[in-house]
Structure 1
Amino acid sequence: MERYVSSTFQRDDKNEEMKRNHEQMPRTGIETDAIHVGQEPERWPGHAVIPPISMATTFKQLEPGKPLLYEYSRCGNPTRQCLEECLASLEKAKYALTFSSGLGATTTLMFMLKSGDHIVSIDDVYGGTGRLFRRCMAQMGVESSFVDMSMDPSSIVNHLKPTTRLVWIETPTNPLLKLADIELISTLVHKYDPKIMVLVDNTFATSYYQRPLELGADLVLHSLTKYMNGHSDVVMGSLMMNSEELYKQLGFLQYAIGAVPSPFDCYLVNRGLKTLAVRMRQHMTSALLIAKYLEQHKYIERVIYPGLECHPQYELYKKQMSGFSGMISVYLKGDDVEKSKRFLKHLKLFTTAESLGGYESLIELPAIMTHASVPEEHRRQLGITDGLIRMSIGLEDVQDLLDDIEVSLQYAFLNTIEK
C-alpha cells in the first residue's frame, strides 16, 4: 500500500497524509489512540496486528531517483513512521518527529537558531538542557536567559528581546516541580512577536495529563525515555507540532543531522504507549498517597507534588493539567548530605539511579547526580540543596513502598536499625 514517497529534501506527500489523518480522525480518547493510530493492520503485508520491525537501512527504487515508499532509513522508516503518527495523536498534534534521545531532539531544534539569537528558558530546567544552553549553544553565539516563570508569568515580556527566537518552558520542572502557565506565557510571547517559538517540555506530565499545543505552545518535546515508554529500556526523544512549516524545517534537520532512533527502539516505545494511560493512573494514585504520607512526616521538611493542595500553584495545576505523574520531590530535615546518602543507601525497593518514569521506583539526590552540572550558585538559588530528594514512584505495591521509605528514614535520622 503506497503511503508516501520519501525524499531527501521534500516531505510533502508525508505531510499531506499526516495532516489528512489528523483532520479526518474522530475525537477519540487517548487510550484508544495509543492502541490504534498508526497501527492499522492493512498497511503491513499479511495484515499483521502488531506493527513489524523493519530493520532495512535502504529501499529498492523502481527507477533511479523515484523511491516508492522509503528511500533511506535515516529519512524514513515504516516502524518509525507508525510511532510518529501514534505520538502525534496522543498530543493532538498534526505532526511528530522522533530522535535518538531527548537531547538529540533538543540539539536538532537548536540548528534552527543562529549566532546572535536569544533563548529564554525556565530557570529550573532539566540539567542536560541547561548544560546544552550554557556550555554548547553559548560557544555558538546563542545567548540564554534563565527565568523563574512560575511566580509571575506575565513578567516574561521583560526578558524578551528583538533577538529572542525561542522560549523554553518545562512544566512541571525537574526537580522542583514548578508549574508555568502555558496559555498565558504563549499568549504574551506571541503578542510580543508571533515568530518566537514557544516550546514546552512535557516529559513529566506526559500527553495523558497535559497537552501544551492546545494551550498555545508551538512545539512539545518529550524524553520518550521516561513515562511515554515507561519501561526503562529505551533512550529516545520526540517533537510534536501543528505547523507544517516547522515540521518541514525540523524534518529536514532530522535527516541532515541524523539523530534518529533505531527501528527496534521505535517498536519498544510504540509498545510502551499501549499501557500509558493505565500506568499513569497508577503512578498518580501511588504518588499522591506517598506525598500525603510524607507531608505529615516528622523527618520531612517539605513535600513538593502538584497534586497536593499545599503546592503553591495548585490552582494552576487544576487549570491546565488533568492529573500528574509519579514524581515527588522532598526536602529532608537538616539539609545534611550524609543523612540523605544514608536514606538512599538503606532503601530496598527504591533503586538509587538517574532517570525516571519506569515501572520500577527510582530515587536520586539531584545536587550530586542529575543536576551536578548546574553551577553551584545557581543550584543554591533554585533550592537544589543536599537535602533535596527526587522520587520516581513506580508500580509496586504502595504499602511496600511506604514501608521501605519509613524504615529508611528511621535509619537515616536515628541510625538505630541494623543494615
Structure 2
Amino acid sequence: MTENSSSIADIILSLPNGLDGEVDSSPASPISIRKYRAATELVFVDNSDDPHGAASVPIYQTATFKQKSATQMGEYDYTRSGNPTRTHLENHLAKIMGARRALAVTSGMTALDVILRLVKAGDEVIAGDDLYGGTNRLLSFLSKTQDIRTHHVDTTIAESLIPHLHPSRTRLVLLETPTNPLIKIADIPTISRLVHERCPNALVVVDNTMMSPYLQKPLELGADIEYHSGTKYLSGHHDLMAGVIGVKDDPIGEKIYYVINSTGTGLGPFDSWLLLRGIKTLAVRMDRQQANAVRVVQFLENHGFKVHFPGSRNHPQFELHQRISTGPGAVLSFETGDVGISERIVEGTKLWGISVSFGCVNSLISMPCRMSHASIPAHIRAERALPEDLIRLCVGIEDIDDLLEDLYASLVAAGALPNWQKVGAEWWGHWKRASKRSD
C-alpha cells in the first residue's frame, strides 16, 4: 500500500452513514448484495442478459419477433404486447420507484386513463380540488359519460375525505402532491391509512410527476399506485411523450397490463430507450434545478411576492413536505395581484420560455389559468381559489444569475417592481436641480 492510498475500511468509516449493506468481493454481481443510494440506482441499469455484452440497452426497433416454431413461442412476439427495450425500462423504473411492477405507456394522461379503467360505472372517485387541467378534464368526461362520480376535496386536510368515503362505492382516491399549480401538500401516509381502514377495496393513487422517484416514493408511504408523466423530469428534455405506472400489488399490475396490451398504449422501443437514457441524469438535473428554484424563491419573497413553494419556510406545510420527501422540487408559483401585470411579466422574459409543462432542463414560465388549466371553467377556478394572476415557474439548469437577471428585468418592465435605476437617476437629477437653485 502506498503512502497516498487508504484501505477500503478506512474509506467506509469516513463516510457519513457508512454503508447500507455488505460489500461483495466480486464486482460482477453488485446488485445482488444491496440497494445503492438513489443517484447510483438511477444510473445503474442491469443489462447483463444482453447476448453481445452491449454497454447500453439496445433499441429493438421491431414490430414483430420470429418464433422457433409454430408451437414454441418465445418471450416476445409482438411489440404491442412487449419489447425487450421496454422491459429493461420497466424493470429499471420498478427498481427506482420501489414498485412490484412498473409499466410504460405513451403519455402521462394515458397512464391515468389506464388506471381509471379499474373504476366502473357507479363507482366514486375522490380527488383534490387543485388538479392538473388534463386530469380534471378526464374526470369530468367520465362523470358525464360513464356515471363515475368524482368528489373534489381539499386534500391538505385528511379529514376532508371522510364524508365521501363509502366502502361500497369509493374505488379510487387520487392525489397530487405537490399539487399543480398551487403547490399544496397531501399527507400520503395519513390519507392512505385512512382510506384503507374505511374502504379496504379502494386504491390510493398518487400523481408523483412533480417530485419524481428521486425525491418522493408514494408506494413506500402507503399508496397503491403511483404514476408520472415521463415527459417531464424522468425524461428531462421535452423530446418525448411517455407515461409511467408503478404498482405494489401483482394482481393490480396484471389488470393494468391487460388494458395496456388490449388498447395498444405501451411505449414504443425508441421512446423507451430515450426515457431510459434520461432517467440516468435525473439526480444531477434535479439537484441543480432545486438549487436554482430555491434562489428564485428567495428573490421573489425578498421582493414581497406571495410564493407557493414547499421548500420555503413560509409554506404552511413545509414540515409535512420534509417528512414525506427528500427535496422541494423545482416548480413554484407566485401571485402579482394583477392579471395584466402577470401577462406582461410572462411575455417580457427572454430566457424563460412561455410554455405549458415542466421538468425539462430549460426554464419555463406560464399563466396556468390561461394555459395548462384553461380547460377548467372560470367559475370552478374561482370556487377552488385558483388566482387568475398566478404565474408558474419551472426552473431549469441555466446559470442562476442569468435567470434572476432576466426575471428581474421582466418584473421591472411589467411594473411589478420599481425601476431603481430610473428612480435613482430621477432622484439625482432632482438633487442637482435643487443644488443649483440653492446656489
| TM-score using structure 2 length | 0.86
Show structure 1 runs of 5+ residues with no match. 1-20
Tell me if the contact between 1:138 and 1:144 (Cα under 8 Å) persists in the aligned partners. no
Deviations 1:125-148 (A, max 9, x none): 111011000124431111111111
CA gap of 1:314–1:50, structure 2 versus 1, over 3 A, is same
Tell me the distance in 2 between the aligned counterparts of 1:265 and 1:211: 24
SS in 1 for 2:68: strand
* Match of residue 34 from structure 1: 42
Amino acid at match of 1:313: Q
1:222: how far off?
0.5
* Match of residue 234 from structure 1: 240
Tell me the distance in 1 between the aligned counterparts of 2:147 and 2:71: 39
> Which structure 2 residues correspond to residues 35-114 of structure 1 after superposition, within 5 A?
35-37=43-45, 39-40=46-47, 42-114=48-120
Identity, % of aligned positions: 38
Amino acid at match of 1:404: D
* Match of residue 134 from structure 1: 140
Tell me if the contact between 1:177 and 1:306 (Cα under 8 Å) persists in the aligned partners. yes
Tell me the distance in 1 between the aligned counterparts of 2:394 and 2:418: 27
Tell me the distance in 1 between the aligned counterparts of 2:37 and 2:148: 40
Tell me if the contact between 2:131 and 2:180 (Cα under 8 Å) persists in the aligned partners. yes
Tell me the distance in 2 between the aligned counterparts of 1:219 and 1:177: 21
1:296: how far off?
1.5
1:385: how far off?
2.2
SS in 2 for 1:89: helix
1:274 matched to 2:274: no
SS in 2 for 1:386: coil
**Aligned counterpart in structure 2 of residue 175 of structure 1, from 171, 177, 181:** 181
* Match of residue 340 from structure 1: 342
Deviations 1:178-218 (A, max 9, x none): 00000000000000122100001000011011101111100
Deviations 1:56-90 (A, max 9, x none): 11111222253212011011001111111111111
* Match of residue 158 from structure 2: 153
1:28: how far off?
1.6
SS in 1 for 2:87: helix
Tell me the distance in 2 between the aligned counterparts of 1:28 and 1:261: 27
* Match of residue 334 from structure 2: 330
CA gap of 1:348–1:182, structure 2 versus 1, over 3 A, is same
CA gap of 1:25–1:148, structure 2 versus 1, over 3 A, is farther
Tell me if the contact between 1:59 and 1:67 (Cα under 8 Å) persists in the aligned partners. no
* Match of residue 7 from structure 1: none
Tell me the distance in 2 between the aligned counterparts of 1:229 and 1:251: 22
**Aligned counterpart in structure 2 of residue 360 of structure 1, from 352, 359, 362:** 362
* Match of residue 298 from structure 2: 292
1:413: how far off?
0.8
SS in 1 for 2:57: coil
SS in 2 for 1:28: coil
SS in 1 for 2:415: helix
CA gap of 1:49–1:210, structure 2 versus 1, over 3 A, is same
Show structure 2 runs of 5+ residues with no match. 1-28, 420-439
Deviations 1:322-356 (A, max 9, x none): 10211010001x322x2211111110100001110
CA gap of 1:197–1:306, structure 2 versus 1, over 3 A, is same
For the pair shown, the structure with the greater C-alpha radius of gyration is 2
Tell me the distance in 2 between the aligned counterparts of 1:148 and 1:43: 47
Tell me the distance in 2 between the aligned counterparts of 1:354 and 1:416: 29
Deviations 1:33-66 (A, max 9, x none): 22223x32x3223211011111111111222253
* Match of residue 6 from structure 1: none
Tell me if the contact between 1:120 and 1:168 (Cα under 8 Å) persists in the aligned partners. yes
| TM-score using structure 1 length | 0.90
Tell me if the contact between 1:74 and 1:255 (Cα under 8 Å) persists in the aligned partners. yes
1:316 matched to 2:320: yes
Tell me if the contact between 1:203 and 1:221 (Cα under 8 Å) persists in the aligned partners. yes
CA gap of 1:345–1:314, structure 2 versus 1, over 3 A, is same
Tell me if the contact between 2:165 and 2:199 (Cα under 8 Å) persists in the aligned partners. no
SS in 1 for 2:410: helix
Tell me the distance in 1 between the aligned counterparts of 2:416 and 2:188: 44
Tell me the distance in 1 between the aligned counterparts of 2:279 and 2:135: 24
User: What count of residue pairs does the alignment treat as equivalent?
Assistant: 389
SS in 2 for 1:87: helix
Tell me if the contact between 1:99 and 1:237 (Cα under 8 Å) persists in the aligned partners. yes
Tell me the distance in 1 between the aligned counterparts of 2:365 and 2:350: 11
Tell me if the contact between 2:341 and 2:416 (Cα under 8 Å) persists in the aligned partners. no
1:186 matched to 2:189: no
* Match of residue 385 from structure 1: 387
1:27: how far off?
2.0
